[in-house]
Amino acid sequence: MNEICCLIKNETTVDDKSFYIIQESESKKEHLIPINQIHTFKNIKPFKKYNFLKEYNPNQNKTYLSIIHPDFKIGHERELNIIGSFEIDEKTYFELESDYEKPLTVRALNWQDNLQKVKCKVVGYKRGRPRLKNIETGNSEWNIGDIIPFTIKEFSQFTDKSDNIIDCVVLEIPNSNETIDIRTQNWQNQKDWSFKNINCKVIGVLGNGLPKLITYDTRHPHFVVGKTYDFIVTGFTDKTSYKGFNYKVINLIDKFNNSFEVLAIPNQENKIKIDETIECKIDNINTRIHLKQVNSKDPFFYEFDEIVEDESLKKKYFLKHLEKDDEYNLKLKSQYEQESGFWVFTYCNYILTKIKYEESIRRNLSEVLKIIDLHTFFENWILTSGILRAIQDDDERKLTKLKVLQIIENNSLEKKAIKAILDFKIPDLYQRQVNDTNFKEIYYLIKYSDFENINEIEFLKFLSSIKSTKNENRYIIKRLIYYINRSLEIYKNSLKQEYFILSQNLKSEQKGEIIKYVNWIYIQIYLSGLADLVVESNILISKFYRFNTLLLINKADSEKLLLNAFYIISNSTKKHNIPVVLKNNNIEITLSQLEDNPNKFIALNLDEEYFKTIIVQKHYNGFKATIGETEGFLPFQNITDINLKQNKQESLEWETNIDITLYCSKFQYFICKQLDKESQNYYSKNLKRDKKLNRGKIIYGIVKNVTTFDSDNIGVFISTEFGDGLIHQNEITYNKYGYYDLNNIFTKGDKIPLYVLGYNNENLVLGFKQLIGTRFENEYYDILNNYDIDITENLTDEEINSDFRIELEKGFIFEQFAFFKDSIDEKIKYIKFAKAFFSNTKNARSYLLNIYIEYFNSIKNLDSLTQDYTIEKYNDFRNFIIKIKDKVQTKTLENFPESKNLLFFIDILHIFNSKDENDLEIVFNLVQKSIQENDILLKAVAKTVLSNNLILTEIDKDNDDSLNEFTLKNLKRIREYINQGVLSVEESIEDKLEKELKEKKVYWQKRINEDEGEKLEFKATFITPIPTNDQNRIIEGLEKQLKKAQSEENISKIKSKIEEVKDLSKNVRGIDKIIIHSALKTICAFANTKGGVLLLGVSDDKKIFGLEQDYKSFKKDKDRDGFGKFFDSMIKDYFGDSFSSTLLEYEFLKFPKGDILIVKVKKSTEEVFLLKNEKGITEESIYVRNLSSSNKLKGVELSKFIKSKYREQIMNNTEIK
C-alpha cells in the first residue's frame, strides 16, 4: 500500500466505457480508472492533482488506485455525524454524514447507544471510498492507541478457531476482577520473560466494554533497541512483498539459537558465506524484532585489481584519471573511494570512451585497440558478475543489459576496422562486408582512416557491390553520411565561391580537391539510397550538380545542372534518378540524359493587381505556396494574418491573396507577401478543418533537438505533419534518462515513430516507451540500441535540419546561377533570390549578397558614366561608391575571405581620380598589400589607379580634355578587368613566376609549422651532422659571452670554443652514413605506406636550418647542383635502378634562412626495399610509417606486409562493376 500523487487527465473511451487517464506525478506512468470510481465525492475536478492509494494484489497480479479525499487521508481521525443505522447479519452499522455521493458506513459497537456522533479512523480505501474503523471511546475508559502496562497473572495457552494451540498471557484488568487473554511473541514466555508486567496497545473496545489489546512492548529478555549484536548467517530466502516486489532476506540465528531475518542487499549471497557472522542493529521491537545491517559494504564493489589483474593497465588507464578534476573523473573518484560498485558504469560509459576518443584524435590506433580491449573486458564482466542486479528497476536493468551487449558488439566491429587499417587489409574488409554487410564496421573504417587518403573510387566500387541493407542500418548510414560531411571540411578552401573567377581558371590543386569533394558527395548520395533517405539524397544530388558546375567549361551545361538541381531540391520528397557513370575511375554526369529545364514553364502575368495562392505546407521560417503549378514561398516576416503565422500544422490548405515580390520564370518560382489587412483585396482563409489525433495513434516525426526546460526536466522536441510536440524524458523508457543519454539516442533530423498521448494546449504530448508491445517495438529498440555511434560534436542545423538545408541549397543555386549570367541586370535578379533564401535561414551570406547587389548597381552606373564621362561626373559617382563602402564591415572579409576581390574593387572605384593625400596613401598600401600577398593581377589594377591619381595631383586643371581622355582610358581598363574576370589583366612571365614562388613559400611555411606525422618528416641536413640540444645550449651561452666580450683575445678564444663544440658531432665515425640512411629510410617508409613529404633543411623544432652546411661539405659544386647530383646518386645506391622515378619528385625552395629540398614520395603498389643499412653495408630492409616514425619490418609483420601488397596489386587490377 503506497500513497502517491497523481494528475487526473482527460477522459477517454474504451469499449463504450468511460475512463479517466490518471498519471503518476513522479514516474509519469498512466492508468485507466472508471469515471464512477473517481467521482465518489463532490467537487472533483479534472486536470488537478490528488493523492491516490496504490495497492498491488499479488493474487490477481494487478495494481489498484483509489482516490483519496483531502479530508479523509489514511491514518486521520474524524468525528462524523450519525444520520442513520442498519443491520446486516445481526451486526449494526452507522450511516455517516460527509460530502461523498453515498453515505459512509462504520460498524457500531454493542455498548454504543444513543450516539449523535462517532469518532472514526481512516484505515484504507476501496473503489474510491474510505474504509473506516470505529474508535469512538466517549462512553469507555479506554482510548484507542494508548499503550498501557498490564500486570501478568500467568502464562497460559488457548485454542483458536482453527483448533491451533496458541501461547498467551493472562492479564489483570485494573480496577476490575476481569482478566483478558492476549497472544504473546515467542520471546514473551514464562522461562525468559523476567518482567512482572507487559505493555499492550489498545486497538479497540470489545462489545462488553473491555479493551481489545495486542502486546506492544519494546523490552526483550536478551536485546535492547538501538544496540548492535552479532548474528550467524544460516542461508538466504526469496520472498515477495504484498506489493508484488521480489526481494531476498538473510536467515540468521543468535547465540540462543533463536531465528531471525534481515533484508539482504543485492549480490550479498555471492559475497557472504554460510556460518559467517554479521552485525545487525535492533532497529525496533513490537510484534517482531526488526533488524538492520550495520557496517555492510556494497556487495557489488570490486576493486580494479579484482576485475583486471594487470598493474600496467591500472596505472595507465585508471589511477591517473582519479586525479583529474572534470565532472566524470570526480564522479569516478567519489564512487571508488566510497566503495560503490557503480564506479564500473561511470568508468566504462564516460572515462574509457573519453580516453579512446582522445587517442583517436591523435591517430594513435594501436593505443585505441588496447582501450577497446579493456573496455570490452569490463563490459563482459558487467554481464557475468551479476552487478546488473544492483539496478532495481526491471526496465532500466533490461535496457542497460541491451546497451552492454551493443557496446561489446560495436567494440568488436571497431576493432576489426582498426586492425584492417593497421594490417593493410582494407580489401579483405571490403570483401567480407560484401557478403555480410554491417555499416557500423564501415563507419569505423571511415572514422579511423586518414580521410584524405581514402580512395573514394575504390570505396564506391565496394558500396556498389552491396545489394541490400537491413533496416537497422538506416540509423548508422545516416550518421556515416554526417561523418563524411564533417570530414569534407578539409576541402573547404577549394570550394569558396567567387564571382570573379571562372571555373576553367581553377588551379590544378583546387580542381583535384573539388573532384574528390564531388566524388564523396556522390558516395553520400549512394549511401542515402541504400538507407532510403529520400530527402537527404535529394539535397545531396542538388549539391552534387551544383559543385560539378565548378568543373565545367560550357556555361550552358552549368546552367542545365543548376536548373535540374533546383527541380530536385524543390521536389525533395520524391525519388530522383541521377544519370552518372563510373568511367576510367571518374564519376561522370551523363548530361545528355538531363532535361535542359525540368521546371515547367508557365509564365505568370506580373501585371495582375494580386494573386490568389494556396498555402500547402509549413516550411523553414515560412510556408510553401502555389499558384497553379508554379511553386513559391511565403516567409514568416511577410505574413499579416496572425492565425496563419501561429498555425502549428505541418500540412495545410490555406487560401490567401498575395503580392509577388520576386519571380523567376526559368526556375518557375516566386517569393511573395500577404496583402495588408487594410487592403480591399485582403483575403485569408483556412480551408482545412483541424482534426486532433486520438490517444494511441502512432505517427512519425522528425527530431528537432534535446532540451532542458523547467529547471530539471528534459525532453525531445519533435516536428510532425500534425504540429510540433514533445517527448518528456519519462516517456522514453521506464528509466529516467539524462541529457547526455538522450543526445546519444536521438540525433537531430532522425525520423522516428511516436505514440500520441494527447495535447498540451495546441502542442502534441508524445510517448516513445508506449511503442513496446506494438508492431513498432523493433524500431523502438533499434533506436535505443544505436545510441553509442559516436558523433561527439554537436550537429548544427546546417548539417541535419532538412528544411534549413533545402533553403540554403536554393540560395547557393541562385547565387551560382547569377555567376554564369553576363547581364548585370540578370546577375542582380538571381542574387536577390539567393539573398532571400539566405535571409530566411539567417545566414550571414545575405549581408554579403546585399553588398554585391549594390556593387553591381554601381557597375551599371559606371557603364552609363563611361558613355558621357568627365572627371567631375566621376567625382559624383565616387560619392555613390562611398555609401557602399561605409556598409562594409571588417567581419565581412573574416567571414567570407572569397569576397576579397569585391571589397578591393569597391576601394579602387572609390579612390580612382582622387587627389587626396590620404587616398594616395591608401592606394599605395593596396599596391604594397597585393605585392606582399603576391596577387599580381590585383597589383596591376592598383598600380593603374596609383599612376592615374599621381598624374592628376601634378595638374591643376580638372576638366582638361586630355585628362578626361587619360583617366577614362584607365577607368575602362579597370572596367574591362571587372567584366572579364581577374585573369583578363595581362601578366608577364616574370610576374607569373614570382606569383608561383610566393604561393609555394606560403604553402610550405604552413607545412613546416605542422607537427611531424604519418606523412610528414623534417631532417635538418642530408650529410653533415648538426649540434645536439645540449651542444646548442652551450653555443647559445658562448654567443651571449661573445656579445659582451671587449678584448680581441677574448673574442678569438670564444669563437674558437664555438667551432670546437660544433665539430664534436663531426668526429663520430660514419656519422655521414647514419644521417643519409635516416633520410632514405623515411623515403622508403613513405613509399611502402601512404606516401608523404620529406623536408631536408628543416630541423625537428620546425625551424629552417638550410642546406648550405651540406653544400660546403662538397669538394666542388658547392651549390644546389652539387647537392642534387649527390642526392640522385644516393637514391640509386640505396634503392637501385628499379626504384620507380614516378614515385619521387623533389625541388629546391629558397627561404631567407636558407635552401630546403622538398622530397615528395608517392605510395608504391609494390614493396620498396632499402638496400643498405646505416653503416652503408649492403642489407635489404623494408620500412613502413607508424605515426611519425619509420619502422623496420621483421618476421611475421614483414610477411603480412608483403601479402597485403600482393592483394593490393590484385585489387588495383580488378574493376568492380
What CATH number is attached to the domain comprising 1077? Answer: 3.30.950
What value does the mean pLDDT take over residues 967-990? 62
Identify whether residues 976 and 1094 lie together within a single domain: no
Instruction: Give me the helices (H) in 495-645, please.
Output: 508-530, 534-548, 555-570, 642-645
Residue of higher predicted confidence among 678 and 1033: 678
Model confidence at 1216, pLDDT cuts 50, 70, 90, reads: very low
Cβ atoms of residues 527 and 442 within 8 Å: no
The grid cell for 485 is 560531411
Residues 1136, 1077, single domain; the answer is yes
Taking the CA of residue 887 as centre, how many other CA atoms within 13 Å lie in the half-sphere pointing to its CB? Answer: 14
What is the percentage of the chain residues whose pLDDT exceeds 90?
A: 29
Domain termination site, one of 253, 273, 293: 293
Say if residue 776 is in the same domain as residue 731. yes
Closest Cα partner for 256 from 218, 296, 229, 294?
A: 229
Q: Which residues of 843-881 are buried (b: 16+ CB within 10 A; e: fewer)?
A: bebbbbbbbbbbbbebbeebeebeeebbbeebeebbebb
Residues 6+ apart with CB under 8 A from 895: 844, 848
Checking if the pLDDT of 791 tops 70, the result is: no
Answer whether residue 1008 shows pLDDT above 70: yes
Task: Tell me the pLDDT tens digit for each residue of 803-833.
Answer: 888 989 999 999 989 888 888 888 889 999 9
Tell me the angle at which helices 534-548 and 555-570 cross, rounded to the nearest 10 degrees: 170
In the chain, how many domains are there?
Answer: 9
317 and 458, same domain (yes or no): yes
Residue 1200 has pLDDT above 60, yes or no: yes
Q: Are 1065 and 1029 in contact (CB under 8 A)?
A: no
- Per the structure, the complete domain to which residue 102 belongs is given by 77-134
- Residues near 367 by beta carbon (within 8 Å), at least 6 away in sequence: 359
Is the pLDDT at 36 greater than 70? The verdict is: yes
Instruction: Say yes or no to pLDDT of 983 above 50.
Output: no
Residue 788 confidence (pLDDT) above 60: no
Report the candidate in 143, 150, 214, 206 with the shortest Cα–Cα distance to residue 179.
150
Better-scored residue on pLDDT, 487 or 711: 487
Question: Taken in order 921, 922, 925, 926, is the CA torsion positive or negative?
Answer: negative
pLDDT of 1214 > 50? The answer is no
Average pLDDT over residues 27-34: 86
pLDDT given for residue 985 in this prediction: 33
As a whole number of angstroms, the distance between CA 618 and CA 613 comes to: 14
Taking the C-alpha atoms of residue 281 and residue 262, their distance in angstroms, rounded to an integer, is 10
Contact predicate 1057/1038, CB 8 Å: yes
Do 87 and 47 share a structural domain?
no
Kindly give, in sequence order, each residue whose CB lies less than 8 Å from that of residue 553, ignoring residues fewer than 6 positions away.
Answer: 503, 504
In the predicted structure, residue 959 carries a pLDDT above the cut 60: no
pLDDT at 598 over 50: yes
Asked if residue 715 and residue 681 are part of one domain, the reply reads no
679-706 tens-digit pLDDT: 999 999 998 776 778 888 999 888 887 7
**What percent of the chain shows pLDDT beyond 70?**
88
Q: How confident is the model at residue 1063 (pLDDT cuts 50, 70, 90)?
A: low
Q: 28 falls in which pLDDT band (50, 70, 90)?
A: confident
Strands 580-583 and 751-760 turn out to be: unpaired
412 in any annotated domain: yes
Same domain, 1200 and 1080: yes
pLDDT for 538 equals: 94
CA-based nearest residue to 709, from 661, 755, 742: 742
Calculate mean pLDDT across residues 515-525.
Answer: 93
Contact 1127, 1146 (CB under 8 A): yes
Q: What is the mean pLDDT of residues 629-649?
A: 89
Mean pLDDT in residue range 456-482: 81
Domain check: are 451 and 308 in the same one? yes
Q: Is residue 605 part of a domain?
A: no
Residue 639 vs residue 742, higher pLDDT: 639
Least confident of 76-85, 774-783, 1108-1117: 774-783
Q: Is residue 527 part of a domain?
A: no
The string over 541-565, giving b where at least 16 C-beta atoms fall within 10 Å of a residue's C-beta and e elsewhere, is bbbbbbbbbbebeeeeebbbbbbbb
Q: How far apart are CA 660 and CA 644, in angstroms?
A: 18
By DSSP bridging, strand 763-767 and strand 1016-1019 are unpaired
- What is the residue whose three cell numbers read 505533419? 721
d(CA 485, CA 924): 43
Q: Which of 293, 327, 348 is the last residue of a domain?
A: 293
> Other CB atoms closer than 10 Å to residue 644's CB: what's the count?
19
Residue 793 has pLDDT above 50, yes or no: no
CATH of the domain at 45: 2.40.50
Give the number of other CB atoms < 10 A from CB of residue 1078. 15
Of 16, 39, 67, the one marking the end of a domain is 67
DSSP class of residue 244 equals: S
Residues 911 and 936 in one domain: yes
pLDDT in the model for residue 43: 85
The verdict on residue 498 lying in a domain is no
Cell of 1057: 670554443
β-partners of residue 1158 are: 1095, 1147
Residue 865 has pLDDT above 70, yes or no: yes
Mean pLDDT for the stretch of residues 1075-1096: 92
Per residue in 656-672, pLDDT (tens digit) is 999 999 999 889 899 99
Whether residue 1160 is contained in a domain is answered as: yes
Whether residues 453 and 393 share a domain: the answer is yes
Please name the residues in contact with 1207: beta carbons below 8 A apart, sequence gap of 6 or more: 425, 427, 428
Answer yes or no: do 641 and 725 share one domain. no
* Residue 502 counted as domain residue: no
Q: What is the pLDDT of residue 361?
A: 84
What is the rounded CA–CA span in Å between residue 439 and residue 794?
22
For residue 278, is pLDDT > 80?
Answer: yes
- Determine, yes or no, domain membership for 506: no
Between 240 and 364, residue with greater pLDDT? 364
**Spatial CA neighbour of 68 closest among 83, 46, 53, 80:** 53
Q: What is the pLDDT of residue 450?
A: 84
Q: How far apart (Å, rounded) are the C-alpha atoms in residues 463 and 1091? A: 25
The Cα–Cα gap between 1055 and 310 comes to 56
Q: Where does residue 109 rank: exposed (0-12), middle (13-18), buried (19+ CB within 10 A)?
A: buried
pLDDT band with cut points at 50, 70 and 90 for residue 737: low
Query: C-alpha cell of 1091?
Result: 606516401
pTM of the entire predicted model: 0.60
pLDDT level of residue 1217 (50, 70, 90 thresholds): very low
Q: What is the mean pLDDT of the chain?
A: 84
Judge whether 816 lies within some domain. no
Write the CA distances from 9 to 40, 49, 824, 998, integer angstroms: 17, 9, 63, 74
More confident residue, 112 or 901: 112
pLDDT at 1206: 66
- Averaged pLDDT, 601-610: 83
Hunting for cell 494528475 — which residue is that?
7
Statement to judge: residues 312 and 411 lie in one domain = yes
